[in-house]
Amino acid sequence: MPEPRVLANALHAPSRVGELSAEPARFHRTLPGYAPTPLIDAPAAARELGAASVRVKDESARLGMPSFKVLGASWATYRVLLAHLGATPEEIPTLDALAERVKSSGLRLCAATDGNHGRAVARMAKLLGLDAAILVPGDMVAERIAAIRSEGADVEVIDGGYDDAIAASAALASDTTLVISDTSWEGYTEPPGWVIDGYSTMMGEVLDQYRAEGLTPPTVVAAQIGVGAFAAAVARAFAGAEGTRLVGVEPTDADCVAASIEHGEVTTIPGPQLSMMAGLNCGTPSLIAWPDVSAGYDSFVTITDDQVADAMRLLAADDIVSGESGAAGLGGLLAHRDVLGINDSDSVLVVSTEGATDLANYRSIVGAETSPA
């Protein structure tokens, strides 16, 4: 197992990072149950980090799902279907209007996933009355597979890792099977670009919450990295902000972005990637996310499963239920706080991107009596 490390970003150029989009939020407000998720003060985390404050954007309950991923999946699904129909957002402005147009169309949504994205695509299919085929890597835990099937989707377990599931999903694309992926490859860039845009809604909420609460802007923002879609959205919100440093966090054996930074271009690392941070077990960065991620971050760090477990327990001390991938941002700061130079003048922002999506593992780490809502 590789050792945890810190990598200064030689490609850092925040002026090249794109901008957030306000358009997805208008659509998200038409989804049933939409509401901004909370921004929570985490004093136990601040004490452990030695920072002035830590704020946690808690994505454990977003639109009735245990992860932020539905924001990207819903917007990408909407835009893919609009393109398929040859329609504009003005012609079909809401979820209900879209459902009416695709009724009895025979269309099927398809996605590869390490958990949360696929479940979100399956939920969108259910809301729209469409079938869904979700492909998952062979090491996915049974609880996450069951959660996807609970949305009414067909789940196929692929012999291999996340990248193998991606390749298998790409092969299914047709006039009636529409692939909604959060990563990109040669010739397939628009849908994952829309996924990144969909996360603008969450980042817009964060910026609004800081302003509404009169909070000092963050001086350190950590973002966990899988293929890079979420990290790209974070970069669009904060890269180039005066006095703000961005830190990207990856598992030690799934550090495809750090490896790509070292090589100066998108690089695939050998698998399998087997961290319990399942949502981050990716071997190749998204081509469409790479420009923002490579330009937006001051540094990248890697962490072990034990180090993210420490972060899960610390967030629980602040009454925040955060799963393995969800706690990785904080885990990276905890593991490398001295090298990163975090001190009592820093205000820190992390995003807990998921709740306890593997409840048995969560309880084994945080405590047997823990019963997340």
Question: Mean pLDDT over residues 16-41, rounded?
Answer: 96
Q: Check 58, 114, 164, 346 and give the catalytic one.
A: 114
- The answer, yes or no, to whether residue 368 has pLDDT greater than 70, is no
Instruction: Please tell me the total number of residues recorded for the chain in this structure.
Output: 373
Q: Residue 115: which pLDDT band, with cuts at 50, 70 and 90?
A: confident
pLDDT of residue 271: 87
Q: In angstroms, rounded to a whole number, what is the distance separating the alpha carbons of residues 278 and 282? A: 9
Q: Check 69, 253, 292, 358 and give the catalytic one.
A: 69
Q: Is 141 strand, coil or helix?
A: coil
270-291 residue pLDDT tens: 988 999 999 999 999 999 999 9
DSSP line for 204-236: HHHHHHHHHTTPPPPSEEEEE-SSSHHHHHHHH
pLDDT of residue 371: 53
336-360 residue pLDDT tens: 999 999 999 999 999 999 999 999 9
244-267 residue pLDDT tens: 999 999 999 999 999 999 999 999
Q: Residue 2: which pLDDT band, with cuts at 50, 70 and 90?
A: confident
Q: Residue 269: which pLDDT band, with cuts at 50, 70 and 90?
A: very high
Any catalytic annotation for residue 255?
no
Q: Where are the domains of the chain?
A: 6-67+197-366, 69-186
- The answer, yes or no, to whether residue 373 has pLDDT greater than 70, is no
- Whether domain 6-67+197-366 has CATH 3.40.50.1100: the reply is yes
Q: How far is CA 329 from the centre of its chain?
A: 11
The set of residues, in sequence order, having a beta carbon less than 8 Å from that of 49 and lying 6+ positions away, is 333, 334, 337, 342, 346, 348
Of 25, 17, 16, 8, residue with least CA distance to 197: 25
Q: Is 371 strand, coil or helix?
A: coil
Given this chain, do its domains 6-67+197-366 and 69-186 carry the same CATH topology? yes
pTM equals 0.94
Any catalytic annotation for residue 103?
no
The CATH number of the structural domain formed by 69-186 is 3.40.50.1100
Give 178's Cβ-side CA count (13 Å radius).
Answer: 27
pLDDT of residue 139: 86
Residue type for position 104? S
pLDDT of residue 369: 56
172-223 residue pLDDT tens: 999 999 999 988 888 999 999 999 999 999 999 999 999 999 999 999 999 9
On average, the pLDDT of the chain sits at 95
Find the radius of gyration of the CA atoms of the chain.
19
